[in-house]
Amino acid sequence: MGIYIIKSLHSEWIKIGHFKITNKRPSIYYRYINRGFYSCICPAEIKHKVSFNDLQLLYWFPNLDISIESKLHKHLKSLYQYCGEWYKYDNINHILQLIYNDYHGILIMPTIHDYNHAVKWCNELQNLHKSSSINI
């Protein structure tokens, strides 16, 4: 389990969420590489721009769990403008201060191997979907 912070490449919004690492989905990139964040509430200005290529992973704290994420959101929503789990990037320094000081977050960024592995998985999944639709 871990908490991520991802930034939109099209605006000044960041998303904070959680993801559980498993053998089948071994890095944070698996959270959004295939379907993005289209099922999540997001700011209107980026509503149609929340796929993998529209986003940049800024931080990954694998030692933090969903209970910490809930506490963090509750705290942030009392302080800042938000839309779902999205906050303005202007608040990033204070958000990081809370994560490090109050919740003892440990930053561990995924490797380029993790990224490439997720991209390969997504491409294989898309090819499987394409071949399935051809056979229908």
Domain that holds residue 30: 2-134
Cα–Cα distance for residue pair 3/109, rounded to 1 Å? 11
Cα–Cα distance for residue pair 102/104, rounded to 1 Å? 6
Mind listing the pLDDT tens digit for each residue in 49-104? Answer: 999 899 999 999 999 999 999 999 999 999 999 999 999 999 999 999 999 999 99
pLDDT at 134 over 60: no
pLDDT at 112 over 90: yes
- How many domains does one find in the chain? 1
Residue with the two structure tokens 């963090």: 72
pLDDT at 132 over 80: no
Average pLDDT, the chain: 92
Q: What is the predicted pLDDT for the residue at 133?
A: 57
**Nearest residue to 9 via CA among 44, 56, 42:** 56
**Two tokens at 92?**
């990033």
DSSP 60-123: EETT--HHHHHHHHHHHHTTS-EETTEEEGGGHHHHHHIIIIIS-----PPPHHHHHHHHHHHH
Mind listing the pLDDT tens digit for each residue in 2-57? Answer: 999 999 999 999 999 999 999 988 999 989 887 889 999 999 999 999 998 999 99
Cα–Cα distance for residue pair 14/123, rounded to 1 Å? 26
Q: Is the dihedral of CA 37, 40, 84, 102 positive or negative?
A: negative
pLDDT at 130 over 90: no
